[in-house]
Amino acid sequence: MKTNQIILHAAVAAALAAGSTAVWAQGKKGVVKIGINETLSGKFVAVGTPPSVAIRLAIHEINDKGGFKVGDTTYTLQPVEVDNRSEGPGVVAGMTKLIEDEKIKIIFGPTVSVLANQAQEMTVPAKVIHLSAAGSWQSLGYLNDPKKPLLFGTQNPLNALARTEIAAVKELGAKKVAYFSADDDTTKGNMGPFLAEAKAAGIEVTTILFPYATADFSSFVSRAKAAKVDSIHFLHPQNSAPNVLRAAVELQAIPKGFSGRQTGAAAALKLAMGKPVPVPYVSAQSTPDLDYPSTPKVKAYAERLRNTGIDLGYNVTFSFFTYDFVHMMAAAMTKAGTVDDTAKIAAVFGSMTYDGVAGKICFATNPRASQYDGTLVSVRNGKVSAKPVPSPCK
Amino acid sequence: MNEQVTVFLQHAFNGISMGAVYALIAAGITLVYGLSRIIHFAVGELVMLGAFIALSVWNWSGEFWLGLAVAVPALALIGLVTERAVFRFTLREPLTGFIVSLGLILILQGTAVEIWSPNPQYSQPPLEGSWDVAGVLLRKQAVVNFAIVVAVLALCYLVLMKTTFGKSLRAVSDDPGAAALMGIPVRTIIMTTFVIGSALAGIAGWMVLTLGLITPFVGAIYVLRGFAVALIGGLGNIQGAALAGIGLGVAESLAAGYVGPGWTDAYVFGAVVLILLWRPTGLAGGSEGAKL
């Protein structure tokens, strides 16, 4: 991790040095600090790394272009990153540093629900604009709470995600599905909308929750088989999906196939069995897909992300939970005419539509969750097809 | 066969195959404890290193089985180095050895992150599919893993019970002072158990790799179970570790299959606590009178 951070620091520094020849406007200059409180080590490191790298990439790009204007001042962004080590005390210590020591007014993360819940307890009283993809912010009502107007969800609304997931289940033709996920806050936040959408679609659901640190899924898959399900739908942790898929194939538990949230095509093409799995597979994504890009913008973004030289692993699409929102925040500050008045910036940020890499991005009002392009990625007989799920923003 | 019976047997087999891995790890723990009285908590990280070394060999050579052949001696070497460089200085104070092993966890995890990155890594073991035995599907890799564990533990048992080395080892376990007076090289015997215990962790690491997903943090899953099994079987009791490992695996699997699966760990470790309250030295006896 440290090596990765050093590489990224070096890349950003080199880029900034190169950018010193870029067009720097005459007049005043300023710096806006962007806080990042993420799981950069510990058990959730694979979740926190992609959003963190994407923030740094976006900041690098904004600065490389000379920054952004607010009034007659040109601002650049400065990332201040803390590693919460995937632990609650680390989140609190990190937020203390960002809010009290660094006086930062815009903070991203953590992405993991249980940690994000703790984090917002510190950012709300400090009147900090706080962004996270945590599903629990929606399910616990934080994003509907008028007392928390500066919290923004950077994932699609849970009911919209559930609709995409049910579309994946329908694509398999399954009528009875086992819902697989870790027994934690993230699942508690996402399961309700899924069950509601499934009921509306006439799909019967058997819920199978497992301990987060499960290595062998045979028993859980056998339980699903005993319940005579047509398919398995997998929520999280996404990097366990290939293991569950392999177990399900070998135990002949999924006659109609396998679907998952944000599980990607690679699980079915290679990771589960080293070759394409012999069952239909659909990944319901709340973001565009980087391997099967839907637009030239996504394709170019995937290239830029790869050029950072950092292996973002299985959860690379989690980078969409932050990347566009850094650009959007800079645009909001320009439009609001301030970098200090968080209420004013949040009002503009929450009501604007931004044309980003992930399509047209805007915030729903209740909950205050962002909306952008999703994708249904299907794998059948080793052939991949991707179907965009367009953003509703105009 | 009755469908309910088939389902029960399926869960039981799933548990036996996983429990065999726990037994292997516990055997290493119990060997080291039996002779040195050191609670070697970094054994989970040794399992993790075994998995990553096997993964690297597989990626480099394309031969999955070669990973096992390399991981075992590599871990044995790591066991030798850690004993010579660290643990031998703590033999008079086993508690210090325990604290040192906690430090080793962080060092080994950090090393793995630097070498292999913190991201999850995947393997696809060559044995795929399952055998259908009267409706019970036995995953081929799990069957092979179980057979390997049975062979390895049987070999350990034979060495312990039927060889001069085994007798020496048991003598050191019973009374190191008396063993030394009889001319048994106590320090060398203890060093050898660290080597054997680490080699067993290497085999377990390869088996963990066959499950498909590893990360530098995977050791935490196994260390708790390894110690639970060693405690239930009786610290210092290798036969008890084997039986308790299978028992824990089956209990986990049945909990996952029949009760609220998300609370599997709570049910299983709740049972461990109750067993230890009932029989503090484990079901098969141990710790005070080592049964090596």
B-chain residues near A271 (CB < 8 A): 122, 124
pLDDT digits (tens, 9 = 90+) for A368-379: 999 999 999 999
In a domain, A178, yes or no: yes
**Does residue A249 have a pLDDT over 50?**
yes
Does residue A167 share a domain with residue A149? no
- Segments forming the whole domain that contains residue A236: 158-285+375-389
Here the tokens at position A306 are: 């790869």
**Does residue B154 have a pLDDT over 60?**
yes
Nearest CA in chain A to B251: A219
Here the tokens at position B34 are: 């039996």
DSSP string, B137-197: EEEHHHHHHHHHHHHHHHHHHHHHHHSHHHHHHHHHHH-HHHHHHTT--HHHHHHHHHHHH
* pLDDT score of B262: 66
* pLDDT score of B284: 67
Q: In terms of pLDDT, which residue wins out, A41 or B143?
A: B143
- Residue B224: partners with Cβ closer than 8 Å, 6 or more residues away: B44, B269
In a domain, A368, yes or no: no
CATH code reported for the domain at B3-278: 1.10.3470
Taking alpha carbons only, the member of B222, B277, B210, B212 closest to residue B248 is B222
Q: How confident is the model at residue B152 (pLDDT cuts 50, 70, 90)?
A: very high
What ipTM was estimated for this complex? Answer: 0.88
**Does residue A20 have a pLDDT over 80?**
no
Nearest CA in chain A to B19: A216
Span A38-62, mean pLDDT?
93
**Does residue B2 have a pLDDT over 90?**
no
* pLDDT score of B239: 86
* Neighbour count for residue A23 (Cβ, 10 Å): 9
Does residue A280 share a domain with residue A139? no
* pLDDT score of B195: 95
* pLDDT score of B269: 79
Number of domains in chain A: 2
DSSP string, A321-336: GTHHHHHHHHHHHHHH
Amino acid, res. B110: G
Does residue A281 share a domain with residue A183? yes
- Residue A353: partners with Cβ closer than 8 Å, 6 or more residues away: A360, A361, A362, A393, A394
A-chain residues near B124 (CB < 8 A): 246, 270-275
Per DSSP, what are the bridge partners of residue A369? A153
Distance CA B242, CA B232 (A): 10
pLDDT digits (tens, 9 = 90+) for A234-245: 999 998 999 999
* The three-state (H, E, C) secondary structure of B7-54, written as one string: HHHHHHHHHHHHHHHHHHHHHHHHHHHHHHCCCCCCHHHHHHHHHHHH
Whether residues A183 and B262 touch (CB distance < 8 A) is answered with: yes
Distance CA A2, CA A13 (A): 16
* pLDDT score of B230: 87
**Does residue A5 have a pLDDT over 90?**
no
* pLDDT score of B253: 92
Does residue A109 share a domain with residue A11? yes
B-chain residues near A219 (CB < 8 A): 11, 14-15, 252-254, 256-257, 261
Contact A329, A150 (CB under 8 A): no
Does residue A162 share a domain with residue A152? no
Does residue A345 share a domain with residue A305? yes
Among the partner residues B113, B119, B130, nearest to A250 by beta-carbon distance: B130
**Does residue A331 have a pLDDT over 70?**
yes
* pLDDT score of A362: 96
Nearest CA in chain B to A269: B124
What are the backbone angles phi and psi of residue B154, rounded to the nearest 5°?
-65, -40
Contact A312, A53 (CB under 8 A): yes
Q: How confident is the model at residue B265 (pLDDT cuts 50, 70, 90)?
A: confident
Whether residues B117 and A46 touch (CB distance < 8 A) is answered with: no
Does residue A136 share a domain with residue A22? yes
Taking alpha carbons only, the member of A121, A86, A109 closest to residue A36 is A109
Q: In terms of pLDDT, which residue wins out, B84 or B92?
A: B84
Q: Give, as one character, the DSSP assignment of residue B218.
A: T
Span A338-343, mean pLDDT?
96
Span B176-185, mean pLDDT?
91
pLDDT digits (tens, 9 = 90+) for A163-222: 999 999 999 999 999 999 999 888 988 999 999 999 999 999 999 999 888 889 999 999
Domain ranges of chain B: 3-278
Q: How confident is the model at residue A1 (pLDDT cuts 50, 70, 90)?
A: very low
Q: List Cα–Cα distances, B195 to A20, A186, B32, B127, in angstroms.
A: 57, 42, 9, 29
* pLDDT score of B235: 76
Tell me, what CATH number does A224's domain have?
A: 3.40.50.2300
Shortest distance, CA A42 to any CA of chain B (angstroms): 7
Among the partner residues B117, B124, B211, nearest to A215 by beta-carbon distance: B211
Distance CA B44, CA B216 (A): 10
* pLDDT score of A19: 41
Span A86-114, mean pLDDT?
96
**Does residue A18 have a pLDDT over 50?**
no
**Does residue B46 have a pLDDT over 90?**
yes
**Does residue A384 have a pLDDT over 90?**
yes
Residues of A at the B interface (Cβ-Cβ below 8 Å)? 1-4, 41-43, 45-46, 49, 182-183, 208-211, 213, 215-216, 218-220, 222-223, 225-226, 239-240, 242-243, 246-247, 250-252, 270-275, 311-314
Nearest CA in chain A to B250: A219
**Does residue B44 have a pLDDT over 90?**
yes
DSSP count for chain A of H helices, then E strands: 13, 16
- Calculate what percentage of chain B has a pLDDT beyond 70: 96
**Does residue B97 have a pLDDT over 90?**
no
Positive/negative CA dihedral, A211, A214, A217, A222: negative
Determine which of B90-94, B119-123, B166-170, B195-199 has the lowest per-residue pLDDT on average. Answer: B90-94
Whether residues A252 and B130 touch (CB distance < 8 A) is answered with: yes
Mean pLDDT across chain A: 91
**Does residue B6 have a pLDDT over 90?**
yes
Q: In terms of pLDDT, which residue wins out, B236 or B188?
A: B188
Whether residues B257 and A219 touch (CB distance < 8 A) is answered with: yes
Shortest distance, CA A299 to any CA of chain B (angstroms): 23
Contact B90, B244 (CB under 8 A): no
Span B45-63, mean pLDDT?
95
In a domain, A370, yes or no: no
Q: How confident is the model at residue B1 (pLDDT cuts 50, 70, 90)?
A: low
Whether residues A211 and B264 touch (CB distance < 8 A) is answered with: yes
